[in-house]
């Protein structure tokens, strides 16, 4: 009997030890494709002793994978970019609510989901760039981009681009669907070319003379300040920029963010990782490593980001904006924005 009891105790100890080993991992599914994020993961490992196991891929593919894996999914954390993708993840049921005093305190309420399934950790502003040699009076608002006087001048990405989807969803939130439809129709009429390429390609369009106005996220241009970006850095002097709607809503912001996976096997470590992303050191690295704006107020900017200047950001609740993303996609289809 004593021997049997010892065996049970030994088995229990092995089980506890195995659990302890498992507890020293966190499995991250990430659609952020920036090599500079390696520093974020290594610093977290050094600070906590928790090993980061990472799978990278397209956001929609990762969300579909988590759905297919179901309760057996090894994913602890999903990290992705833009409110639209965070919204899709929530709707797909692959995230779970998180109750964290740290996250609630550090991340402003308008940069997190109303149900606490996702949180924003860095920001980008989607603004107006223009060729200073060709445009004497650049548009000062998103609405002005649709003015017929800019016909044939605008480079902008396709309607399936998540940044554009969230921008239009924000316009719907502020002004309603009718105004958003008129705006989208006006942008299509003012395009210099059919939508193509990424944000960097829109900026290159300014340099090449293919267009006089471009819409892009700030970090693509700030990167050309910090390091050499072919087709942009050597001609930065001819590019001006406008933070739109400074007298009204403020410049549109989109997010990079994440949440805890619905079936996270290492839930506590997942929460620790998200909390770590709100630390001053991690927030500064989002800015210095990838030219983004911190989500946590009061954290300093890198020189490349600071060079863009101070501006008023739109503080609309992005959880509300996310609810208008399906309507935004419908409007894009209606007006023929490809």
Q: Give the three-state DSSP class for 177.
A: helix
Would strands 77-81 and 25-30 be described as parallel, antiparallel, or unpaired?
parallel
Token representation of residue 94? 């692959």
How much is the pLDDT for 36?
76
Residue from 150, 321, 174 nearest 250 by CA:
174
Quick: pLDDT tens for 99-148.
Answer: 999 999 999 999 999 999 999 999 999 999 999 999 999 999 999 999 99
* Spatial separation of the C-alpha atoms in residues 115 and 306, rounded to whole Å: 33
pLDDT of residue 323 exceeding 80, the answer is yes
* In contact, 59 and 31? CB cutoff 8 Å: yes
pLDDT of residue 241 exceeding 80, the answer is yes
Token representation of residue 219? 């970090």
Quick: pLDDT tens for 68-89.
Answer: 999 999 999 999 999 999 999 9
Residue 23: which pLDDT band, with cuts at 50, 70 and 90?
low
The per-residue pLDDT of the chain, averaged, comes to: 92
How much is the pLDDT for 19?
40
Token representation of residue 177? 């669907």
CATH numbers and ranges of domains, the chain: 25-123+254-302 (3.40.190.10), 124-252+319-335 (3.40.190.10)
CA distances (Å), origin 58, targets 32, 85, 95, 303 = 9, 10, 17, 30
How much is the pLDDT for 111?
96
How much is the pLDDT for 33?
80
How much is the pLDDT for 14?
33
Quick: pLDDT tens for 255-297.
Answer: 999 999 999 999 999 999 999 999 999 999 999 999 999 999 9
Which residue has better confidence, 219 or 14?
A: 219
Cα radius of gyration (the chain) = 22
* In contact, 289 and 228? CB cutoff 8 Å: no
Chain centroid to CA 245: 21
């Amino acid at each position: 009997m004593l021997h049997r009891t010892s065996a049970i105790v030994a088995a229990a100890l092995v089980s506890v030890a195995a659990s302890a080993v498992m507890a020293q991992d966190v499995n991250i599914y990430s659609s952020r494709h920036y090599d500079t994020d390696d520093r974020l993961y290594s610093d977290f490992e050094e600070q906590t002793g928790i090993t980061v196991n990472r799978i990278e891929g397209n956001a929609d593919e990762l969300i579909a994978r988590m759905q297919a894996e179901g309760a057996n999914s090894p994913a602890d954390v999903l990290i992705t970019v833009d409110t639209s993708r965070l919204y899709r993840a929530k709707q797909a049921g692959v995230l779970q609510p998180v109750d964290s005093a740290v996250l609630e305190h550090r991340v402003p309420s308008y940069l997190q989901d109303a149900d606490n399934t996702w949180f924003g950790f860095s920001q980008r502003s989607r603004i107006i760039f223009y060729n200073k040699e060709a445009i004497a009076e650049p548009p000062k608002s998103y609405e002005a981009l649709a003015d017929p006087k800019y016909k044939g001048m605008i480079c902008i990405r396709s309607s399936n681009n998540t940044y554009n989807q969230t921008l239009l969803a924000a316009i719907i939130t502020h002004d309603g669907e009718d105004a958003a439809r008129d705006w989208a129709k006006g942008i299509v009429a003012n395009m210099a070319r059919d939508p193509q390429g990424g944000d960097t390609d829109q900026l290159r369009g300014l340099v090449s003379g293919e267009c006089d106005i471009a819409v892009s996220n700030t970090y693509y241009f700030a990167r050309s300040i910090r390091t050499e970006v072919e087709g942009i850095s050597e001609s930065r002097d001819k590019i001006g920029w406008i933070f739109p709607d400074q007298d009204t809503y403020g410049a549109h912001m989109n997010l990079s963010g994440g949440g805890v996976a619905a079936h996270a096997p290492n839930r506590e470590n997942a929460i620790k990782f998200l909390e770590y992303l709100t630390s001053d050191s991690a927030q500064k690295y989002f800015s210095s490593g990838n030219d983004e704006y911190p989500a946590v107020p009061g954290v300093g900017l890198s020189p490349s980001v600071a060079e863009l200047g101070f501006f008023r950001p739109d503080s609309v609740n992005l959880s509300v904006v996310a609810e208008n993303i399906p309507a935004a996609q419908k409007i894009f289809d209606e007006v023929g924005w490809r």
